[in-house]
Amino acid sequence: MSPLPKNRLPLFLLALINLVTGVTLFLVLSRPAHQPLPQKPKPSPPALSMLATPPDWSALEIYQNSITREDFERLLTTVFTTGNVWKNVIEIADTEARIKTGSSPTDEIFHLHFAQSGLETKVPRHWRTASELPAATPGMPLTDLKIAIDPGHIGGAWAKMEERWMVVGDGSPVCEGDMTLQVAKLLKPKLEALGATVSLVREKTEPVTPIRPDALLTLARTNAPDASPVQIQKDAERLFYRTAEIRARADLVNQTLKPDLVLCLHFNAEAWGDPNNPTLIDHTHFHLVVNGAYNDEEVLLADQRFALLQKLFQRTQQEEILLGSTIAATFAETSGLPPYQYPPESLNVRPIDGQPYLWARNLLANRLYDCPVIFMEPYVMNSTIDYPRIQAGDYEGLREIAGKMRPSIFQEYASAVAAGLSKYYSAPRARKKVPPQ
C-alpha cells in the first residue's frame, strides 16, 4: 500500500472538518422547536407585610447622592434597626449601598450612591421642617403649617371589636376611639387659632376604610389554615381595624392631605383583662413615639425595608425628635405625668438619648404616613388616677377630682399639645438649627 501523497493531506483534513461541522449544525437545527432555552430562575415574590403592595424601588432614585456613607451607616445602625439581619439585605460599600429589593438571591439590587461630605444633594419632599417654613404672622406661630390630626382607633360601635372598650361596674364605658376624637375636636380650633391649617383624618366614630372584616376572612384563613373559625374571625377583624384601617388613613394622608406633620392621638392603658371587670392599677405615665427601631423580621419584609430607607433619607426622625421633645416637655409639665419605661429586653423599641419621654418604634401609622409623625401615648385609662378623670367627662375650668383641682383630662390633653406646638414653632424659624441626629 502506498502512503497518501503529501499533497492530499490538507484535502482530507478539510473533509473531516466539514463532516464535523455538518453533524453539529444538523444536531442544533434538528432540536425540537418546543425545547426551551435555559432560563434564569424567576425571582420569588418579595416577602411583604399584611395588605402591603410591592414597593416601587425606582422611587428611591431621588435620594441618590443625598447622604454620606457615614451618615447612612450611623442612622441605619443606631436609629432604624435593633438587630443585625439588615446585613443580609443591605451591603454598605465604599461609594454605595447595595439594597436587595426582594428576598431571593436572584432579586435585583438597588444601588444608592453616597455623597461626599459637604456635597449632599437636597432631598425633595412635600413636608417642611420648622426651619423651612416662611416667617410666621406675629402671635400666630403655626402660620402656614399643615397639620393632620389622626384620632387613634375607631370607637363607637367598633370599640369592643378593636378591644379599646372597658366598663367598671355601673360607670360609663371607656372607649379610646371616642376619647381620641373628643381631644382631636378640642385641639383643632386651638391649632387653627395659632395659624395652622388642620384636618382630621377621621371626624366620626366610623372606619375610614370601606373594607369590612367579612371581606378579609379568606385572607385570614390563608394565613392560618389550621386556626379555629373563632380565631379566623378574630384575625379578619384585626386585619380590618388595625391593618386595612390604618392603610386607608395613610392613603388619605399621603395622597390628599399631604401635611407637614401628623399628630396621632391615643390614650395608653395597661393590660386590663376582662373588659367587663377590668383590672385597675395605681400608676400612670406618658410617652411619645417616633419612627425607628425596625426589628430583624421587619427589615426582611421588602415594604418595611423600603419605608425605613425612605424615612432615613428624608431625615424624618430628626424633625420628630426636635418637635417631640418640646411637646413632651410641655405635656409633662402640664399633666405631671412621669415617663413610661419599656422593659429593657424589648426588641421593638429604642430609647432616644437624653429624652426620657421619647421612644423609637416602628408602628404601622408612623411608618406609613409620609411625613414626621408625633405619636402620643399619655395617661393610663385603667389607672385609679386617670379613670376618675375620664368618668368626669369634659368640662370647663377646674374641678376637684380625688382631692385635687384639675382641668378635664380632654382639655388638658388638647391644651398641652397646642402649647408644645406653639412653643416649638415660636422659636425664630430662620434661626432654628438642625442638630446632629
Cβ distance to Zn ion smaller for residue 266 or 406: 266
Cβ distance to Zn ion smaller for residue 103 or 268: 268
Cβ distance to Zn ion smaller for residue 100 or 285: 285
Which residue in the shown chain puts its C-beta closest to Zn ion? 266
- How many angstroms separate the CA atoms of 142 and 155, rounded? 30
Cβ distance to Zn ion smaller for residue 79 or 175: 175
Binding residue count for Zn ion, defined by CB under 5 A: 2
Task: Pick the piece of the chain touching Zn ion (CB under 5 A) from 33-41, 122-130, 258-266, 378-386.
Answer: 258-266
- How many angstroms separate the CA atoms of 331 and 337, rounded? 8
Q: Report the amino acid identity of residue 16.
A: L
Which of residues 69, 238, 247, 266 is near Zn ion by CB under 5 A?
266
Instruction: State yes or no: residue 152 binds Zn ion (CB under 5 A).
Output: yes
Smallest distance from Zn ion to CB 245, Å: 12
Task: Pick the piece of the chain touching Zn ion (CB under 5 A) from 52-60, 238-246, 260-268, 324-332.
Answer: 260-268
Smallest distance from Zn ion to CB 377, Å: 7
Task: Pick the piece of the chain touching Zn ion (CB under 5 A) from 120-128, 250-258, 264-272, 278-286.
Answer: 264-272
Cβ distance to Zn ion smaller for residue 93 or 157: 157
Smallest distance from Zn ion to CB 375, Å: 9
Cβ distance to Zn ion smaller for residue 176 or 260: 176
Smallest distance from Zn ion to CB 152, Å: 4
Smallest distance from Zn ion to CB 348, Å: 16
Task: Pick the piece of the chain touching Zn ion (CB under 5 A) from 32-40, 107-115, 261-269, 349-357.
Answer: 261-269
| 5-64: contacts with Zn ion (CB under 5 A) | none
Smallest distance from Zn ion to CB 106, Å: 41
Cβ distance to Zn ion smaller for residue 130 or 365: 365
Site of interaction with Zn ion (CB under 5 A): 152, 266
